[in-house]
Amino acid sequence: MLIKIKFFGELKEKIGKRSEVLEIERTSIKKEELIPFLKKTFGLSENEIFNIAINNSLSKKEIKNGDTVSLHPIYRGG
């Protein structure tokens, strides 16, 4: 499946881009599985803490083909 990844804040600066399309050899993936996969893919530390939004929702738990995943650094207060 293909998913679009969007980066924000410090993560955008660390990775050096705003977005990327990623191919994963699965038909779906759970949020808790995707996070370590993304850390490995983008060379982030295992200790890096971030949240993800799936199609602009913070409550969705599963990613499918064509979804957009937003990588969010910790929310420290706007």
Among 16, 47, 57, 61, binds another protein (CB under 8 A): 57
Nearer to another protein, 4 or 26 (CB): 4
Q: Compose the 5-34 pattern: x for residues touching another protein by CB under 8 A, - for all others.
A: -x-xxx-x----------------------
Examine residue 45 and tell whether it contacts another protein (CB under 8 A).
no
| DSSP conformation letters of 3-67 | EEEEE-HHHHHHHT-SEEEEE-SSSEEEHHHHHHHHHHHTT--TT--EEEEETTBSS--EEETT-
3 state DSSP class of 77? coil
Number of residues that bind another protein (CB under 8 A): 17
Examine residue 63 and tell whether it contacts another protein (CB under 8 A).
no
